[in-house]
C-alpha cells in the first residue's frame, strides 16, 4: 500500500478514484455502508453525497487498497478491510 499526500479532491476527481474499485465502504459515525460496485452501483450523485464532506472535498481518511476503497474513520472496518 502506498500512502500519498495530495491537494483536496472533489467532484469528478473523487469519482475517478473509484475506477476499478469493486468494494466501497463508507463510514459515517458508527454506521458503515458497503457497496458492491460491480452490481447495483449507486448513482454518481449518491456516491458523491456519501464520500464528500461539507466542504465539497473527499472525506478523510480515504484509503484504497487494491480494489477496495474505504472513506471515513471506523476502526473495525479499517481492520477488517485493510488488516
Residues 10-53 pLDDT 10s:
888 999 999 999 999 999 888 999 999 999 899 999 999 999 99
The residues near 56 (Cβ < 8 Å, ≥ 6 apart) are: 10, 11
pLDDT surpassing 90 at residue 56: yes
Predicted TM-score (pTM) of the model is 0.86
**Distance from C-alpha of 70 to C-alpha of 77, rounded to nearest angstrom:** 8
Residue 46: in which H helix or E strand, if any? helix 44-51
* Cβ atoms < 10 Å from Cβ of 41: 14
pLDDT of residue 83: 66
Question: pLDDT tens-digit profile of 1-20?
Answer: 454 556 788 888 999 999 99
Mean pLDDT of 60-83: 88
Cell numbers for 28: 459515517
Amino acid at each position: 500500500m502506498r500512502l500519498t499526500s495530495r491537494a483536496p479532491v472533489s467532484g469528478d476527481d473523487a469519482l475517478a478514484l473509484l475506477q476499478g474499485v469493486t468494494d466501497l465502504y463508507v463510514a459515517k459515525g458508527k454506521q458503515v455502508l458497503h457497496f458492491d460496485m460491480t452490481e447495483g452501483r449507486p448513482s454518481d450523485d449518491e456516491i458523491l453525497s456519501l464520500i464528500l464532506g461539507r466542504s465539497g472535498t473527499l472525506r478523510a481518511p480515504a484509503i484504497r487498497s487494491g480494489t477496495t476503497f474505504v472513506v471515513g474513520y471506523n476502526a473495525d472496518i479499517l481492520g477488517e478491510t485493510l488488516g
